[in-house]
Amino acid sequence: MKKLLLSSIIVIVGFTFIGRLSYLQLFRFSPDQILDDPAIKKIYDYPERGYIYDRNGELMVGNQPAYDVMVIPREVKPLDTLEFCQLLGVDKPTFIKKMKKARTYSPRLPSVLVPQLSKEDYARLQEKMRHFEGFYIQKRSLRFYTTNSSANVLGYISEVNEWDLDNNPYYVAGELKGRTGVEKQYEEILRGRKGVKHIQKDRFNRDIGPYKGGKLDTLPEQGKELRITIDKKLQEYGERLMHGKHGGVVAIEPKTGEILTMISGPTYDPSLLVGRQRSKNYSKLHYDSISKPLFDRSISFEKEPGSPFKTLNALVALQEGVIEPSTKFRCYNGFYVGSQKKGCHCGGGMRDMNSGIYQSCNAYFAGTFRKIYGKFQTTDEGMDVWEKHIESFGLGNYLGTDLPTGRPGRIPGKEFYDRWYGDGRWSSSTIISNSIGQGEVAATPLQLANMTAAIANRGYYYTPHILKSIGNTGGIDPKYTEPHYTTIDRKHFEPVVEGMANVYKYGTARWVQIPDINIAGKTGTVENFTRIDGEKVQLTDNSVFVAFAPVENPKIALAVYIENGYYGSRYAGHIASLLIEKYLKGKITRKDLEKRMLEKTLEHEYAKPLSGEPFKINEYVW
Amino acid sequence: MSMSGRGLFGRLDWLTVFLYALLVLIGWVNIYSTTLVDPNTSIFDFSTLYGKQLFFIGLAGLGIVFVLFIETNFFERFASIFYISSLVLLLGLFVFGKTIAGATSWYDLGFFNLQPSELAKVTTALALAKYLSDIQTDIKTRKHQLYALVVILLPAILILPQPDPGSSLIYFSLFFVLFREGLPLYYLGILLVMVILFATTLMFGTVWVAIGLAIFSVLIFGLKRKSVKIPIIPFIAIIGASVLFSLSVRFVYENVFEQRHRDRFALWLSLEKDEKKLEEIRKTIGYNTYQSEKAIESGGFFGKGFLEGTRTKGDFVPEQHTDYIFSSVGEEWGFMGTATVILLFSFFFLRLIFISERQKSDFSRMYGYGVISILLIHYFINIGMVIGLLPTIGVPLPFFSYGGSGLIFFTMLLFIFLKLDSNRLKDGI
């Protein structure tokens, strides 16, 4: 026994080792392990990111060179840290921290020490760089904006993070990727495809030529330029008008569904998210909890649409044959739901469809809404029919635009109310607020603009989209060139359009007429509630306006939604009319109106619920 | 001299010498391959690492000649003096030692850094054999067991604070000599228990180990048959000693080990719970193991060929030419190469056991076992670490790894034994 102890240990150890070695060398072996073989160096050839032009071919986004200071930690020789820090423009603790991080990442591989030097810093540094071994400068390309507008539409790019690296094998640490907007949506088209060269290194770490004769190498594929549907001039002008106002503006070309303008107020200068100040600026924007500039209100802000929604109820009623355009309802300066009176500002009296629309009579539309439901045996049935008609205008669900963000809005169906109130515990009077666009319906400015485009087209719309073409022509998804027909017959649109045209001539927006242009529009003044410390509080009304022009041959359909802008024509209506004039005429004739809209801000309204002081709603301050 | 018709060289065990030479040669070829910087330099260029190693091989050759011509009795007679001198040398490190890579383990002799812990392996093996073979020593008695233990542990304790836990671990292998000479095998059980206590203490802490021991005791007493009597006091003493040992593990771990040692255990036993820190350890400490495994893997069955390895070159695997030399075998010579080396070593060790057992002199046999134990544990720890079975413990692969002290003293260790063996027939008279 004692003589055999050591011998058996030797044999057991020998078998264990050979077992482990056969696992490693026979089982786990695969001949092409180049991915992490340190002897095979990969060199990337980055194509330039594609430019972005507006619909008229004006450049919006280009590229500019930037310079990263790179470090290979193990090649660093002792250096004058103080001088170097001064040249780089960083302080010493930061420098030491970054060096440590680079070393942790890899002593052998290059890491970015200081990203995105300005041209001036680069010029200063370049001459002295050779004194600092182990450091070098790498050129790369950053975005360059020829406009200070469209930040949310264009989106921004930033370095890939851990998640991207884990989920997309294309990216390598340090590369850039589109994060929002067009940059994200068309990332693969804009970025192209980087080329890869595999270089075989010999035992002395010298390059000895392509690995396997370049069999695995690829050439870079150029990023393509994009033309987007945005009208740069209109967009810039709109953003100036939105100065100091929260809300969204979307304008669409009804004949194509192309988005002419998409504004979220407040916005920011896209250049803020480029260069060395990027992360500082980003935090500032990200943590601005009042303005939320990174939140795209034009596409993600869903609210009750207010009175513009009445036009759809008129169309549904006509389609279902429950009213004629001449059908009249009496307005008692309001209407009754059971014994409860709901107000109306139209002035009272008998209302037909025409004056019902242009005076925005609540009683008229409550009556219309009741008639729609009255046609059916049960409220459920009526609800289904109504919902189907309304949804055919692109409301209540994602529109399917080529933008990576957005919200579906809400058109409540019977399931919604069953959940809300319980089965059978609601009736048409419960949902009467929907007749005037209050209550449970909600839509984004984009959806309102699209709905208006459908009315402008008298019955169909193209899915709104942002891409005009890849390169100069083509590349657009066929789903954006197919019309979507609403469930309303074409003949029913004329009376409604006439009412909308009269909004400008005699109605709620007669103050904002544009000489020589016939506009059809609809104002909306949306009651606005919020919760402050758990208590329901009413705030100043939201101001809404939808319009299209010219009436006969619509070239632009738009929706303007201004938070706390009071009644519809006041802010939204004015801004809409200025935008229409700008787009159709190219210049503004009503200079004083323009001046007022550019200068007025609603900051005091937005401060109200936050300041903790008592406030009045809907106060009239011009 | 009537019975030795042949001379000294005729009586040498040439098979062992051949195996030794083969291992040294394969080792050097791989050192050459990994440390070759400029293919135009001569292999005798002593500014290169492989040139230096060639020089060390030459020195080792001189050492062999020296050992073979010394009177056989010399080693036995002076064993105690060698042992005490090497202890003095180890002590002297505290004053005159030269620090390389954080460990004060060397004397700077100008042309050569002498590592006395390597020398002490030889002298301890000699001293242990001398003590055990003494006519008055009876390893079955507690007292003599204790003395033998002291002989083994003294150098280990002196080496530990250098710090060089790897080298001091080596001395424990000499227990195999004691087992061969009749030390009851339950001591091996105790050793195993200590290893388990060490690992569990690190993983769960002394409190949980103590709780575990308590539960264990209750189970023992609860489940035992009435007829079985367990002596209460020794049992409690054992449990108490275990707890004390567990406490000392914490102390040694926190105070004697350095962070780099702790990191290795942290990785091996998955002690570090912080994902980020664990990742960092993997990239630094575990990096070697990862790279060396990858290199061995990439060799496949036939290997990439001599000088064709890509991963084991440059600085991809640090310590490539010393502790990680075996991964170069794996990459360039493939499974064929690694399996051959394992077989060579195994055969070499079995041959040494065979030789030990044929000794008539107790001293020679015991020393032989000492030689095997020391070489075997190096081989076990080193290759186990390189192929990713054991934590990173820096010990060289005998005859393979780059390094003068190692090669020379391993050679002396072996050839003193071969010298003793060549004289085995004389001793009988």
CATH number of the domain bearing residue A520: 3.40.710.10
Segment B23-45 shows an average pLDDT of 83
- Do A219 and A275 fall within a single domain? no
Q: What's this model's pTM, rounded to 2 decimal places?
A: 0.64
C-alpha to C-alpha distance for B244 and A129, rounded to whole angstroms = 60
Q: Above 80 in pLDDT, residue B1?
A: no
Q: Flag the least confident range among A524-533, B306-315, B376-385.
A: B306-315
Q: Report the alpha-carbon angle B288-B293-B296, nearest 5.
A: 125
- Do A560 and A588 fall within a single domain? yes
Residue of B nearest to A39 (CA): B310
C-alpha to C-alpha distance for A408 and A301, rounded to whole angstroms = 10
- Do A136 and A218 fall within a single domain? yes
- Do A221 and A263 fall within a single domain? no
pLDDT category, A250, cuts 50, 70, 90? very high
Residue A13 within a domain: no
Q: Which pLDDT belongs to residue B3?
A: 43
Sign of the alpha-carbon torsion through A354, A312, A296, A479: negative
Instruction: Give which of A313, A443, A419 is closest to A365, Cα–Cα.
Output: A313
Instruction: State percent of chain A over pLDDT 70.
Output: 96
Start-to-end CA span in chain B (Å): 10
B163 shares contact with chain A (CB less than 8 Å): no
Q: Above 90 in pLDDT, residue A364?
A: yes
pLDDT category, B316, cuts 50, 70, 90? low
Yes or no, beta carbons of A9 and B311 under 8 Å apart: no
Q: Above 50 in pLDDT, residue B4?
A: no
- Do A457 and A390 fall within a single domain? yes
Beta bridge partners of A59: A53
Residue A325: cis peptide before it, omega within 30 degrees of 0: no
CATH number of the domain bearing residue A116: 3.90.1310.10
Yes or no, beta carbons of B346 and A33 under 8 Å apart: no
DSSP A157: E
Q: Say if residues A547 and A514 touch (Cβ distance below 8 Å).
A: no
C-alpha to C-alpha distance for A441 and A461, rounded to whole angstroms = 21
Segment A348-359 shows an average pLDDT of 90
- Do A253 and A214 fall within a single domain? no
pLDDT category, B429, cuts 50, 70, 90? very low
B contact residues 268-287, partner A, Cβ 8 Å cutoff: 280, 283
Q: Above 50 in pLDDT, residue A215?
A: yes
Q: Above 80 in pLDDT, residue A350?
A: yes
Residue A550: cis peptide before it, omega within 30 degrees of 0: yes
Segment B241-254 shows an average pLDDT of 83
Q: Report the alpha-carbon angle A227-A233-A234, nearest 5.
A: 100
Q: Which pLDDT belongs to residue A90?
A: 83
pLDDT category, B318, cuts 50, 70, 90? low
Q: Which pLDDT belongs to residue A401?
A: 92
Residue A31 within a domain: no
A470-496, pLDDT tens digit by residue?
988 888 889 999 999 999 999 999 999
Residue A14 within a domain: no
A54-103, pLDDT tens digit by residue?
999 999 999 988 888 888 887 788 888 888 888 888 888 888 888 888 88
Mutate to test the interface with A, among B37, B298, B333, B336 (most CBs of A within 10 A): B298
C-alpha to C-alpha distance for B357 and A441, rounded to whole angstroms = 97
Q: Above 90 in pLDDT, residue B344?
A: yes
A425-473, pLDDT tens digit by residue?
887 778 888 889 888 899 999 999 999 999 999 999 999 999 999 988 8
Q: Which pLDDT belongs to residue A36?
A: 58
B53-110, pLDDT tens digit by residue?
999 999 999 999 999 988 888 988 999 999 999 999 999 998 888 888 778 888 888 7
pLDDT category, B242, cuts 50, 70, 90? confident
Alpha carbons within 13 angstroms on the beta-carbon side of residue A426 total 18
Segment B397-401 shows an average pLDDT of 93
- Do A356 and A451 fall within a single domain? yes
Yes or no, beta carbons of B316 and A38 under 8 Å apart: yes
Q: Which pLDDT belongs to residue A29?
A: 79
Mutate to test the interface with B, among A9, A10, A211 (most CBs of B within 10 A): A10
Q: Above 70 in pLDDT, residue A566?
A: yes
Q: Above 50 in pLDDT, residue B358?
A: yes
B30 shares contact with chain A (CB less than 8 Å): no
Segment B357-386 shows an average pLDDT of 93
Segment A245-249 shows an average pLDDT of 93
Instruction: Spell out which residues of chain B touch residue A28, defining contact as CB-CB under 8 Å.
Output: 297
* Cα→Cα distances A187→A60, A145, A156, A562, B215, Å: 16, 17, 11, 32, 63
Residue A617 within a domain: no
Segment B283-291 shows an average pLDDT of 72
Residue A27 within a domain: no
Domain that holds residue A139: 41-193+205-228
Residue A21 within a domain: no
Residue A17 within a domain: no
> Which ipTM score applies to this complex?
0.85
- Do A183 and A301 fall within a single domain? no
Q: Which pLDDT belongs to residue B340?
A: 96
Yes or no, beta carbons of B315 and A74 under 8 Å apart: yes
Q: Which pLDDT belongs to residue B223?
A: 79
Pairing of strands A247-253, A334-337: unpaired
User: Treating both helix axes as pointing N-terminal to C-terminal, what angle do B404-422 and B116-133 enclose, rounded to 10 degrees?
Assistant: 20
Mean confidence (pLDDT) of chain B: 85
Segment B153-163 shows an average pLDDT of 89
Instruction: Give which of A284, A235, A292 is closest to A258, Cα–Cα.
Output: A235
A375-434, pLDDT tens digit by residue?
988 888 888 999 999 999 999 999 999 998 889 999 998 888 888 888 878 877 788 888
B146 shares contact with chain A (CB less than 8 Å): no
- Do A293 and A216 fall within a single domain? no
Instruction: State percent of chain B over pLDDT 70.
Output: 90
Q: Which pLDDT belongs to residue B275?
A: 67
- Do A161 and A308 fall within a single domain? no
Q: Which pLDDT belongs to residue A342?
A: 84
Q: Which pLDDT belongs to residue A31?
A: 64
Number of domains in chain A: 2
Strand positions, DSSP E, A340-459: 340-343, 349-351
- Do A146 and A293 fall within a single domain? no
Yes or no, beta carbons of B180 and A33 under 8 Å apart: no
B174 shares contact with chain A (CB less than 8 Å): no
- Do A111 and A133 fall within a single domain? yes
A8 shares contact with chain B (CB less than 8 Å): no
Query: What backbone phi and psi angles, to 5 degrees, belong to A249?
Result: -130, 130
Residue A198 within a domain: no
